[in-house]
Amino acid sequence: MKLLRSFLLLSIILLFSAGTAHADDVKKGKELFKDSMLGTNGKSCNTCHSGGKDIDGSKNTFKILGSELEGIEDAANFCIEMALNGKPLEKGSAKMKALASYLRTLRGKKEIESETPGY
Q: Which residues bind ligand HEC (CB under 6 A)?
A: 38, 43, 45, 47-49, 54-56, 59, 62, 64, 72, 75-76, 79-80, 83-84, 103, 110
Q: Shortest distance, CB of residue 8 to ligand HEC, whole angstroms? A: 39
DSSP label at 54? T
Q: Shortest distance, CB of residue 52 to ligand HEC, whole angstroms? A: 9
Contact 62, 76 (CB under 8 A): no
Nearer Cβ to ligand HEC (22/108): 108
Distance CA 115, CA 119 (A): 8
Q: Shortest distance, CB of residue 25 to ligand HEC, whole angstroms? A: 14
CA 86 distance to own-chain centroid = 17
Nearer Cβ to ligand HEC (22/36): 36
> Hey, is 62 helix, strand or coil?
strand
- CB-hemisphere CA count at 13 Å for 28? 15
